[in-house]
Structure 1
Amino acid sequence: MAEIQPLRGWRYNPVLSQHIDEYVSPLFDVVSQKQREALYRNPLNSIHLSVPRGDDPAGEALRRLQEWQETGILRQDELPGIYVYYQYFRLPGSSREFCRKGFMCHIRAYAWTDNVVLRHENTLPSSVNDRAELLARTEFQSSATHGLYRDDAFELERWMDEAMLDPLYETAEDYQGARDVLAVIQDSRIIEQFQAALAQRQVILADGHHRYEGSLAYRQAQLAANPNSTGQEGWNYHLMYLTNSAADDLRILPTHRLLLELPGDLTDAELLARLEAYFLILPKEDAYDLPELIAGKQWAFGLYLRSGQAYKIRLRPEVHTQLSWDTTTEVKALDLTVLHFFVLEKVLGIVGPDAQRQWPGVAYVRSFSECLKRVDDGEARAALITNEVTMDEVERVCHSGAVMPPKSTFFYPKTIGGFLFSSIRAEETAHPFLAGAGK
């Protein structure tokens, strides 16, 4: 199954690491424009490597990377290791502090057809190309993708807990309110335990599909250019943060759908009339009750209209058999598949997953209150409030070989960029552990 390798991580030098909060950044696909501008003002922030700007962004990232390495802003660890990464966080409205435990390492960049790393969503070619070009120019990875393995015995956690007794550094609080802590394991015997554990398992890609596919594209290009390669070159590997899906510290938050427009300029009354063919519709007094009213109920959604009227809508069970998309039973059972098929396709006429991905009339918003506000402010015609996807649903869909509707999952908290950097250059990835690759 999954082959993993330790790496000689690049990190901010010890002086800068004392203020690591100033140099980390959100992932390129979740950072807002306002956050970006604030981060760009710091000339040493990692965003300059992960989301470079300029007429030649990848070239600018390479220039800055070389400068940071030559001047000692970034330094490479002498020994290869597995980097333990814990994230402490709270959820809104709860006083409980969770700790998501995981580790960063290199994983072989498996093609989807290898059935070792499994995906649950499709990607946009333009975003993959951007990531592949950046990797090709710099041979450097500034943020780990997030992968999930299942280990009900929790055999690796004791080694991770032990490493955390002597952390390298930690943030006070990152952009999402989490506290991030990094430690390293460089004992070869323990690293082999991690390798053996993952060699028995598949990995589900939770976050970072575009970055992972960028690594796949770069690897394919290198394989074509180097027909006599050994399979152990650095470009065969990808930086990944691995966490145990059996733990209770994995949170998937809902992503709601905001209808920015209604095709044909439907009125609210016309929209409700069309919905009634498929859904039971119940008016509700207070829109802020919608998340609680739909919680745990299959195929149930909240609907909020510009008139200020709120509704609970729930699919009529007998119409589910009309869901005709060519996908697996596991995908058809999802709330979001029901929403996309019966609301976007049948009611609004946006036919098929491809058309829906391209349709500019829908926005994906994580904040419930933001959804209501944008409808009230006239920015959108309606908000569709959803339940979160469960980890069990993610696993069942991945193992069925299918993918979910777009923006189905929002794993929380996100990893951060700049906490650990990884090089895939040949001279920096040849180390003794590669001799045991594929055990």
Structure 2
Amino acid sequence: MPRFLPFAALRYAAVDHLARLIAPPYDVLSDADLDHYLASDEHNITHVDVPRGGEGRYQIAAETLADWRGAGVLVTDERPSFTLYRLAFTDETGEAREIVGVLGGLEVVDVDAGGVLPHERTTPKASTDRLDLTRATQANLSPIWGLSLAPGLAALLAEPGEPVGEVVEGGVTHRVERVSDPERIAAISAAIGTDDVLIADGHHRYGISRTYRDEVRGATGRTDTPAEETLAFVSELVADQLSVAAIHRLYDRMYAEFSHTFHLTEMGRPTPETLAAMQNEGFLVLYTRDRTYRLDPIPGAFHEIRSLDGAWLEHTLGDVPVTYQHGLAETIAAVDDGRAEAAVLIRPVSVAEIERTAREGLLMPPKSTFFTPKLKTGFVVRPL
């Protein structure tokens, strides 16, 4: 089972101005978003986490981080701590939710070693951006999101810690609290260490942490450096907290193969109410610029296929080119604008199915889940 350890965190000193200093994770920022956050404050975390420029941008990011530490913009906790991170929001159905997790150092394990598990197959990324940035800054900047299968973790995190910041943005309240009591730290660490942790978001970052760890081991001959763990937000895999959205599929043409496994019934243009009906009645939706079809599985067509919409589509279409888009309006727009010929709207994967797949040691198709809201970058930086 994985180690989960406290560390002496780097935090912004100006806690009253955190809204200007933190940002969404690098991989969801458009160019316009990045312009906004870079301009919001000269010390916004994006100046380090998403550096612009040529080949020297990573070294500039490292120098910027060092300058901030020297000037007291970022200060180091006096002793190792965990950071409770609470996200309060209203989900797509109008239900109020609060996710509570803990930021700490999650063990970096080898592929197939167990303890920290992927929950879906990942699409390859050729970019070395995160690795180059980690090498230069010697810091973990953006946390991965891990889902602990350990029962009772959420209850263990319910008690507040020492408040160290709060930001409200996009209808989500992000609140962070420091936990430095040794007994509570030990209890949290022990609880997470009793069962597997699934990577919900940040598979690429976790893989980069493994490469960086191996480089440090090769350079130092040691296996006790901070590179043995990586910054992670770990929350319990419980349905009443998590909000899992679907990631819809875009295709470059309309495929006749849909009729091999689905009954196609023409219907009206999809609306938010359609998404609710899909979950209640068990159908998918095929959208083109000319027509919309309800896709009802033909009885027996998926007899030996796992009951996942993504798996059904892979079985139906094989390895045809596909791209991914979350959000109903954004998916429909991609077809209407001619960026795709057809879209298939799928249903969110249930928390029970996520756990069942993990317990059986299986992987879901790529882009099966989209966990919301997204964690902010900048509340905590973990030095390496």
- SS of the residue 1:168 aligns to: strand
Q: Which residue of 2 aligns with 1:130?
A: 129
Q: Which residue of 2 aligns with 1:348?
A: none
Could you tell me how far 1:286 is from its partner in structure 2? 4.0
Pairing of 1:9-28 with structure 2 (within 5 A):
9-13=9-13, 16-28=14-26
Q: Which residue of 1 aligns with 2:48?
A: 49
| 1:233 aligned onto 2:225 | yes
Distance 2:158 2:58 in 1: 35
**Alignment-mate amino acid for residue 301 of structure 2:** V
| 1:306 aligned onto 2:311 | no
- SS of the residue 2:126 aligns to: helix
Among 183, 187, 193, the alignment partner of 2:181 is: 187
Deviations for 1:174-217, whole angstroms, at most 9, x for unmatched residues?
Answer: xx431100111111111111122122111111111111111100
| 1:98 aligned onto 2:113 | no
Distance 1:400 1:159 in 2: 27
**Alignment-mate amino acid for residue 240 of structure 1:** A
Could you tell me how far 1:306 is from its partner in structure 2? 0.7
Pairing of 1:318-329 with structure 2 (within 5 A):
318-320=300-302
Gap regions ≥5 residues in structure 1: 324-328, 346-350, 425-439
Is the 8 Å Cα contact of residues 97 and 241 (structure 2) preserved in structure 1? yes
Is the 8 Å Cα contact of residues 153 and 192 (structure 2) preserved in structure 1? no
Q: Which has the higher helix share?
A: 1
Q: Which residue of 1 aligns with 2:316?
A: 342
Distance 1:406 1:159 in 2: 31
Distance 2:16 2:364 in 1: 41
| 1:171 aligned onto 2:163 | no
Distance 2:209 2:163 in 1: 29
| 1:219 aligned onto 2:200 | no
Q: Which has the higher strand share?
A: 2
Q: Which residue of 1 aligns with 2:118?
A: 119
- SS of the residue 2:101 aligns to: strand
Deviations for 1:278-311, whole angstroms, at most 9, x for unmatched residues?
Answer: 211111134325323321455x31011111x221
Gap regions ≥5 residues in structure 2: none
Is the 8 Å Cα contact of residues 252 and 410 (structure 1) preserved in structure 2? yes
Distance 2:124 2:269 in 1: 38
Is the 8 Å Cα contact of residues 101 and 157 (structure 1) preserved in structure 2? no
Q: TM-score if structure 1 supplies the norm length?
A: 0.81
| 1:279 aligned onto 2:278 | no
Among 300, 323, 327, the alignment partner of 1:367 is: 327
Is the 8 Å Cα contact of residues 265 and 293 (structure 2) preserved in structure 1? yes
Q: Which residue of 1 aligns with 2:32?
A: 34
Deviations for 1:201-251, whole angstroms, at most 9, x for unmatched residues?
Answer: 111111111111111001112222333x2x321111111111011351111
Q: Which residue of 1 aligns with 2:64?
A: 64
**Alignment-mate amino acid for residue 189 of structure 1:** E
- Count of aligned pairs between the two proteins: 380
Superposition CA RMSD, Å = 2.0
**Alignment-mate amino acid for residue 422 of structure 1:** R
Q: Which residue of 2 aligns with 1:149?
A: 148
Q: TM-score if structure 2 supplies the norm length?
A: 0.92
Q: Which residue of 2 aligns with 1:290?
A: 274
